[in-house]
Amino acid sequence: MSTTGEGPARSEAEAMIAEAKKALWVMVGLLAVLWVIQLVNAPTGYDLSREFGIEARDPASLPEIFSAPFMHSSWGHIEGNSGPLFVFGFLAAYRGVKKWIGVTVLIIVASGLGVWFISPSNSVTVGASGLVFGYFGYIIVRGLFDRHAIDIVLGLVMALCFAYTFASLLPTEEGVSWQGHMFGFLGGIVGGWLFRDRRPKAVAAPDPATTLLPKDLG
């Protein structure tokens, strides 16, 4: 005999597993797109990166905010981004791909605008590292905003295991876009708040002992 609540709990678990499978394939597809672009981009001497990268404070380059994360500047660049992007992206998406899409767009815009505003003049910036740091920030705070115990633990574990990455939020290495890292990270934190679960507040049942009834007019 099934216990009370076992059915809803099982349905919720099955839905989460289904969403996690969807998130897995979404991230596989995203990485496939990045690598196909790299295979076309590298033989041309990275012409696509120069054309579709973000040029600081150039108004004509604002649309490239949405294309720059898909471009890279070397094989080492895309290899360094691919693993963290897959792991962090999956963890950001496993509770809902639709929510993940909204978070991703927010991170891209925040990271891209940060690069556009404060990168050195005449620089062109490409790469998915802004997304990586955005997902990292989102994972850290999501559990706090959603009040999911497992996500709180996950956020703490990720923050501790990858604490060294916080150094990349500051200008410590020449040629590395700390601007994209920092603003992507902040975009992920904001995304955790904007896309938090909004559960309806529970309404207490009326107490029969204190409920007022209309007078009998008969």
The pLDDT tens digits of the residues spanning 144-165 come to 998 888 899 998 998 888 877 7
| Neighbour tally for 154: CB within 10 Å | 17
Per DSSP, 5 falls in state T
Q: Which residues, other chains included, contact 20 with Cβ-Cβ below 8 Å and sequence gap of 6+?
A: 90, 94
174's tokens: 């020449």
**Looking up tokens 């597993």, which residue turns up?**
17
Helix or strand holding residue 115 (H, E): helix 97-118
For residue 2, the model assigns a pLDDT of 47
Residue 161 DSSP symbol: H
In this prediction the pTM is 0.85
- Which pLDDT score, from 0 to 100, does residue 3 have? 52
In the prediction, which pLDDT does 56 show?
96
pLDDT digits (tens, 9 = 90+) for 168-179: 777 877 778 899
What's the pLDDT score for residue 9? 65
Summarize the confidence of residues 14-32 as an average pLDDT: 94
Query: Which of the pair, 178 or 200, is modelled with greater confidence?
Result: 178
3-class state of residue 196 by DSSP: coil
What's the mean pLDDT in 178-185?
Answer: 95
Tokens of 202: 């529970």
Residue 1 has pLDDT above 70, yes or no: no
pLDDT for res 217:
40
pLDDT of res. 32:
98
Q: What is the pLDDT of residue 6?
A: 62
Answer yes or no: are the C-beta atoms of 176 and 121 closer than 8 Å.
no
Helix axes 97-118, 129-146, angle to 10 degrees: 130
Q: pLDDT tens-digit profile of 35-88?
A: 999 999 999 999 999 999 999 999 999 999 999 999 999 999 999 999 999 999
pLDDT tens per residue across span 2-18:
455 566 667 777 888 89
Write the pLDDT tens digit of every residue in 83-132. 999 999 999 999 899 999 999 999 999 999 999 999 999 999 999 999 99
